[in-house]
Amino acid sequence: VKVNLKDHSYHIIFDRIDQLDQYLNKPQKTKILIISNPKIFRLYGQQLKRSLKYKKYQVFEKNIPAGEIHKTLNTAEQLYSFLIKNRFTRRDLIIALGGGVVGDLSGFVASTYLRGIEYIQIPTTLLAQVDSSVGGKTAVNHQLGKNLIGAFYQPSLVLIDRTTLNTLPKRELSAGLAEVIKYGIIKDKRFFSKLEESLAITNNLLAKCCFIKAKIVEKDEKENNLRMILNFGHTIGHALEAETNYQYYLHGEAVALGMIAATYISNQVGLITEIDLNRIIALIKKAKLPTSINYDYDFHKIKKIMEKDKKISSGQVTFVLIDSIGKTVIRNDISWQLVKDSLRFLKYG
Amino acid sequence: VKVNLKDHSYHIIFDRIDQLDQYLNKPQKTKILIISNPKIFRLYGQQLKRSLKYKKYQVFEKNIPAGEIHKTLNTAEQLYSFLIKNRFTRRDLIIALGGGVVGDLSGFVASTYLRGIEYIQIPTTLLAQVDSSVGGKTAVNHQLGKNLIGAFYQPSLVLIDRTTLNTLPKRELSAGLAEVIKYGIIKDKRFFSKLEESLAITNNLLAKCCFIKAKIVEKDEKENNLRMILNFGHTIGHALEAETNYQYYLHGEAVALGMIAATYISNQVGLITEIDLNRIIALIKKAKLPTSINYDYDFHKIKKIMEKDKKISSGQVTFVLIDSIGKTVIRNDISWQLVKDSLRFLKYG
């Protein structure tokens, strides 16, 4: 898949990690920092290093602890220090080997070290493969909120090795499927139907997701308008994640709930049919994702979080709704009452 | 002056600070954060605020202490917190009112808050007016080096009010002239001759500097090649600044010395005539800038700093030299002996 952006287009390659060297044409002795986490590095670090050493690059590695709580400016600062101490120049390279946390953080460091150093992403979770590997969003968290600091910065290459999913916990695989299903809902009715037949993860499925996202991002790199449709399910999803302090749901699980809520709201304002609402819920269930909230949520807290969310423009919450499967509608006239109802729907059906 | 960049062109306007509102077309109630320092804000803050309130914007202010030592990720984090707490969205605005420190830091915060919020620069020092207001370089310092963290990010508008220079200390004015002279040396023989006639700062002079820089930046936004010529005098200049812990020289003063050193090297490798070398020294002197080093520098420390500098590619120091006044040459075959000689020339003539 080729992602065409004005002055920084790049390719998404489907191949094995140990084949990466084939796609690199940096001169010998180029310094490469692999940023990963201990678990992923144990699984794939050596084959990546072998591939890079074959080309006589100088390979460095730095593992960061797993988890969003380490995706901070503090960790970024440690990486800056490492790069400076090892005299990385703008012509050197960073490789992000891991999931979203590693990718977001590495991308942010790459975008800001010496005002930008080249970086490559090797996403090893389904979520990262179909979502964060396309679009150039990099970020770190702030104590007051997730992903509030970041930059739009594109990698020079994304390598997707589907076999890395074999070692991914089942729960994370399901979480990734939430974003896969999202692509069908917002943009491709036929793809949605195919997913209803089978949720088996093939290179074709991954490429399709990347392709849909790439087309949207190409038209709207800096998230002015169209790109907003990618946030389908994320407005309420994010709020549920934040309300539970990111301890309870995986991102994809919260998005699954958010998609059901957004579909429910769509139905209530007369957009999508109840039949399609039920099809969406059924597919989410098939992916072994949660379809209901099983704890006592605090609506006022959720509302507050939504009001602080960066997708809000001048006080009005902007919702991505759907007219039918494959077709989105942007609305900013949704009442708080309806948001409340959608949460009640998630809780009690 | 219009700065034409692919998808983010902007204008540099020459007008009074209190006229800023004329150039803004944001909707009422847009939040605006003025980032400044106590001294500058005392001088110009109120007239800026008046102008903004006239348009019914919501104006916030945040002063940061003066000095490079405050241009850090730490200060940036305080600004992020302020923006988050006051619910700034991507559609709101940051205005940097001040010199290079305020501009670099505000630009960095603007480029990374919510992955990019609009910002306007009102540079109030000569250096900032002719240099940092064009080119989109934003930065913070790292404990291991200056400007090592940053992004390329363009303002939406630059307003230059020449009258702010009336309150600028004479020493800083001279320091700014170093960059003015630099433009003549690297790009415009005729402009250089005019400066020899008079160093009086007019809007024409400022516009000429911005124009020269804009033309260079337009051709090479991300500093791959051509833009490097703007570093004339900066390789050794930076090293002198760093060797003295940024306590002894103003940036422009160090650049003045660096320009003399680079011209000396140019002459030694057979590029520029001794006559032109002397013209350059004379003009620098006329601007009341230092033309010699009057302390015992440590060459090994200077060498180390130069080796760590981000303008170095794979171990070789790249020098911007001059063939004649107005014409640059890039060379990376300059021996350390010659660098040493150029410093000796600065010390003993």
**A82 inside 8 A of chain B by CB:** no
User: Is any Cβ of chain B less than 8 angstroms from the Cβ of A56?
Assistant: no
Look at residue A236 in the predicted model and tell me its pLDDT.
Answer: 95
- List A160's β-bridge partners, or say none: A14
What is the pLDDT at residue B8?
Answer: 76
pLDDT in tens, B178-208: 999 999 999 999 999 999 999 999 999 999 9
Q: What average pLDDT does range A65-71 have in this prediction?
A: 92
The whole-angstrom separation of Cα B189 and Cα B59 is 45
Cβ pair A139:B115 closer than 8 A:
yes
A4 CB-contact burial (10 Å; exposed 0-12 / middle 13-18 / buried 19+): exposed
Burial of B33 per CB tally in 10 Å (0-12, 13-18, 19+): buried
Q: Token pair for residue B73?
A: 């990720």
In DSSP terms, B142 is beta-bridged to B145
Beta strands in B22-73 (DSSP E): 31-36, 58-63
Q: Where are the beta strands (DSSP E) in chain A?
A: 2-3, 10-14, 31-36, 58-63, 93-98, 118-123, 137-142, 145-152, 157-160, 319-324, 327-331
> For residue B315, what pLDDT is reported?
61
Q: State the burial class of residue B251 (Cβ atoms within 10 Å of its Cβ: 0-12, 13-18, 19+).
A: buried
What tokens were used for A6? 């004005």
pLDDT single digits (tens) A151-183: 999 999 999 999 999 999 999 999 999 999 999
Report pLDDT for B349. Answer: 83
Mean pLDDT computed over B321-330:
96
Residues 6+ apart with CB under 8 A from A207: A1, A12, A14
What are the CA-CA distances from residue B249 to residues A11, B30, B239, B290 (Å)?
Answer: 47, 40, 11, 9
pLDDT tier, B9 (very low <50, low <70, confident <90, very high otherwise): confident
Q: How, if at all, do strands B31-36 and B93-98 pair?
A: parallel
Distance CA A295, CA A242 (A): 14
Residues of A in Cβ contact (< 8 Å) with B137: 115
Stretch B124-131: mean pLDDT, rounded? Answer: 94
Cα–Cα distance, A48 to A273 (Å, whole number): 49
Judged by CB atoms closer than 8 Å, whether chains meet at B150 and A114 is answered as yes
Measured at the CA of A143, the angle between CA A321 and CA A305, to 5 degrees, comes to 30
Residue showing tokens 């400022």: B206
Q: How many Å apart are CA A39 and CA A99, to the nearest integer?
A: 11
User: pLDDT value at position B343?
Assistant: 97
- Residues B194, B197, B201, B205, Cα dihedral to 10°: -10
> Of A148, A314, A303, which Cα lies nearest the Cα of B109?
A148
Residue A313: pLDDT over 60: no
pLDDT-based confidence at A6, cuts 50/70/90?
A: low
Q: Give the residue on A whose Cα is nearest the Cα of B27.
A: A314
**Which residue, A103, A94, A110, is CA-closest to A130?**
A103
Q: What is the pLDDT of residue B1?
A: 75
Supply the pLDDT for residue B217: 86
Confidence class for position A310, pLDDT limits 50, 70, 90: low
Written as six digits, the tokens of B2 are 């219009």
- Distance between CA A293 and CA A159 in Å, rounded? 36
Predicted model pTM: 0.89
Interchain contact B144–A (C-beta under 8 A): yes
Q: Token pair for residue B221? A: 């936004």
> What is the DSSP pairing of strand A327-331 with strand A319-324?
antiparallel
SS3 B201: coil
Residues B264, B266: Cα–Cα separation, whole Å: 5
B220: confidence class by pLDDT, cuts 50, 70, 90: confident
B313 at A interface, C-beta within 8 A = yes
pLDDT of residue A315: 61
Confidence of residue B222 (pLDDT cuts 50, 70, 90): low
- pLDDT value at B90 more than 70: yes
Contact state of A77 with B73 under an 8 Å Cβ cutoff: yes
Two structure tokens written together for A23: 């796609």
The region of weakest confidence among A104-113, A216-225, A315-324 is: A216-225
Largest CA distance in chain B: 62
Collect all residues of chain A within an 8 Å Cβ-Cβ radius of residue B151.
111-112, 115-116, 151
Q: Are B227 and B316 in contact (CB under 8 A)?
A: no
Comparing CB atoms, the residue among A138, A139, A312 nearest residue B89 is: A312
* Mean per-residue pLDDT over chain A, rounded: 93
Q: In this complex, which of B73, B91, B113 lies closest to A73 when CB atoms are compared?
A: B73
Paired with B59 in beta bridges are B32
Which of B84, B148, B308 is the closest to A145 by Cβ?
B84
Q: What is the spatial distance between Cα A89 and Cα A117, in angstroms, rounded to a whole number?
A: 8
> Does pLDDT of A311 surpass 60?
no
Distance CA B27, CA B49 (A): 16
Cβ–Cβ gap A310/B90 under 8 Å: yes
Range from A150-159, B43-52, B312-321 carrying the lowest mean pLDDT: B312-321
Candidate list B31, B137, B146, B208, residue with the active-site label: B137
* Percent share of chain A, pLDDT over 70: 96
Query: Which band of pLDDT confidence, cut at 50, 70 and 90, is reported for residue A144?
Result: confident
A127-151 exposure pattern, b = at least 16 Cβ within 10 A, e = fewer: bbbbbbbbbbbbbbbbeebbbbbbb
User: Catalytic amino acids of A?
Assistant: 115, 137, 179, 213, 223, 227, 231, 234, 238, 251
In chain B, where do the E strands start and end?
Answer: 2-3, 10-14, 31-36, 58-63, 93-98, 118-123, 137-142, 145-152, 157-160, 319-324, 327-331
- As a whole number, mean pLDDT of residues A252-268 equals 98
A163 neighbors A15 (Cβ within 8 angstroms): no
- Cβ of B151 under 8 Å from any chain A Cβ? yes
Question: In the predicted model, is pLDDT for residue A314 greater than 60?
Answer: no
Taking CA atoms, B33 is separated from A66, A72, B77, B121, B220, in Å, by: 35, 24, 15, 12, 30
CA torsion B79-B80-B84-B87 (nearest 10°) is 60
pLDDT tens per residue across span B21-31? 999 999 999 99
Instruction: Check if A149 contacts B (Cβ < 8 Å).
Output: yes
Chain A residues with CB inside 8 Å of B152's CB? 115-116
Mean pLDDT value across residues B272-299: 97
Burial state string for B266-299 with b = 16 or more CB within 10 A and e = fewer than 16: bbbbebbeeebbebbbebbeebebbbebeeebee
Report the C-alpha gap between B23 and A288 in whole angstroms.
54
> Is the pLDDT reported for residue A317 higher than 90?
no
CB spacing of A314 vs B89 below 8 angstroms: yes
Q: Which one, of B287, B283, B295, B174, lies nearest residue B243 by Cα?
A: B295
CA distance B5 to A276: 46
One-letter amino acid of B345: F
Amino acid at B151: A
